[in-house]
C-alpha cells in the first residue's frame, strides 16, 4: 500500500492512517471522513463522487502533501 502515491482506489482510512498529513486536506474541504467509521470501506473515488469534488484537484493536493512529509509505517 505504501508506494508513495495516492490513487482513487485506496481506502480513505488507509490514506489518513499512512499519511497523517493528508488529514488537513480532508478537513479543508469539509469532508467528515476524519473520524468516520465508513472511511475504512470508502475509496477515495467514492468519497469524492459523494461530495461532488474534482478527483484530479483533490488527488493532486493529497499527493503534494506526501512530498511535504515522510509516510508513517506501513499498515
What per-residue confidence (pLDDT) applies to 37?
A: 73
What per-residue confidence (pLDDT) applies to 47?
A: 92
What per-residue confidence (pLDDT) applies to 75?
A: 45
Taking the chain (75 residues) in runs of 10, the rounded mean pLDDT of each run is 80 93 92 77 91 92 84 50
Q: Mark out the alpha helices in the chain (DSSP H runs).
A: 12-18, 23-28, 44-51, 55-68
What per-residue confidence (pLDDT) applies to 1?
A: 47
| 5 Cβ contact list (under 8 Å, min separation 6) | 63, 66
Amino acid at each position: 500500500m505504501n508506494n508513495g502515491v495516492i490513487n482513487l482506489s485506496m481506502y480513505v482510512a488507509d490514506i489518513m492512517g499512512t499519511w497523517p498529513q493528508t488529514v488537513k486536506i480532508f478537513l479543508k474541504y469539509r469532508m467528515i471522513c476524519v473520524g468516520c467509521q465508513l472511511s475504512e470501506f470508502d475509496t477515495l473515488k467514492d468519497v469524492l463522487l459523494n461530495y461532488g469534488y474534482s478527483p484530479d484537484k483533490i488527488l493532486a493536493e493529497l499527493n503534494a502533501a506526501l512530498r511535504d512529509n515522510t509516510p508513517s509505517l506501513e499498515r
